[in-house]
Amino acid sequence: MPNFFALIPAAGSGSRMGNELPKQYLTLAGKPMIYHAFRRLCGSLRLSAVFVVLAPGDDEWLQHDWSEFSTKLVVLECGGATRAESVLNGLRAAVKASSIGDDDWVLVHDAARPCLSENQLDRLMDELANDEVGGLLAVPVADTLKRSGADGRVERTEPREKLWQAQTPQMFRYKLLVEALSMAGGTVMTDDAAAIEALGLHPKLVLSDSRNLKVTYPQDLALAELILSNS
């Protein structure tokens, strides 16, 4: 039976948040934001280890006590210039730090998604455990979609049928994911599934909901706190 691992890319700077401190360290419900992802993933008995990918020379990491996660958490200081690079560097370093098989599953999860529920995590693993390709948590688009033209005016309305918003975790087999991200090269890819799709494969969409939001802008912080306090 393949094992399950998690990898959390946390080498971003949070430029859209506009805070000097990278957003994964901003205080959320009394803890650094990334703490909440650790709590969920390290707390899952189904995951063998959780890798976190930091930016080289990340001083802020050392300002916090992470000892409660020490049995599961493996720190890798090999973040890159893009998310895809951070994930690929992390996957290559993880296999040196721990025994991961080619067919083992890796769940890649953003440090900036602190509200992942136990149900969402379990549903992803249950629905994909026997899948050929792997997949991701996602939500059908609810709003009406407009494409903009000149001067911020509507060019046309886009049908939202069959459109989904991609979330994380995204779960793929170790070897396939390394291959896919290596092939991606310089192409801009904002998630792992896009690299798999570029190989001509079709990741499975696993139904999630909007509570697993990504904290991107300052106004997302209060919403994330509210969700955490209700879960």
Given candidates 49, 61, 100, 110, which one binds ligand CTP under the rule CB under 6 A?
Answer: 110
Q: Does 169 bind ligand CTP (CB under 6 A)?
A: no
* Minimum distance from residue 109 beta carbon to ligand CTP (Å): 8
Q: Is 111 an interacting residue with respect to ligand CTP (CB under 6 A)?
A: yes
114 binds ligand CTP (CB under 6 A): no
The reply on whether position 13 binds ligand CTP by CB under 6 A is yes
| List 7, 10, 116, 189, residue binding ligand CTP (CB under 6 A) | 10
Q: What is the dihedral of CA 188, 84, 115, 161, to 10 degrees?
A: 40
Using the rule CB under 6 A, give the single segment among 5-13, 57-65, 115-123, 148-156 that binds ligand CTP: 5-13
How many chain residues bind ligand CTP (CB under 6 A)?
A: 22
Amino acid letter for position 202: H
Q: In terms of residues, how long is the chain?
A: 231
* Of residues 199-218, those binding ligand CTP (CB under 6 A): 214, 216
Strand partners, 165: 139
Least Å from the CB of residue 72 to ligand CTP: 18
Interface with ligand CTP in residues 22-51 (CB under 6 A):
23-24
Choosing from 6, 9, 106, 221, the residue that interacts with ligand CTP (CB under 6 A) is 9
Question: Could you say whether residue 79 binds ligand CTP (CB under 6 A)?
Answer: yes
Q: Closest CB to ligand CTP among 13 and 231?
A: 13
Member of 53, 106, 177, 189 binding ligand CTP (CB under 6 A) = 53
Sign for the pseudo-dihedral over CA of 75, 56, 135, 113: positive
Of 60, 56, 50, residue with least CA distance to 85: 56
How would DSSP label each residue in the chain?
---EEEEEEE----TTTT-SS-GGGSEETTEEHHHHHHHHHHT-TTEEEEEEEEPTT-SGGGGS--GGGTTTEEEE----SSHHHHHHHHHHHHHHHS---TT-EEEE--TT-TT--HHHHHHHHHHHTT-SS-EEEEEE--S-EEEE-GGG-EEEEEP-TT-EEEEEEEEEEHHHHHHHHHHHTTS--SSHHHHHHTTT--PEEEE--TTS----STHHHHHHHHHHHT-
170 binds ligand CTP (CB under 6 A): no
Verify binding: residue 19, ligand CTP, rule CB under 6 A: no
Binding of ligand CTP at residue 15 (CB under 6 A)?
yes
- Which residue minimizes CB distance to ligand CTP? 12
Q: Which residues bind ligand CTP (CB under 6 A)?
A: 9-16, 23-24, 53, 79-83, 86, 110-112, 214, 216
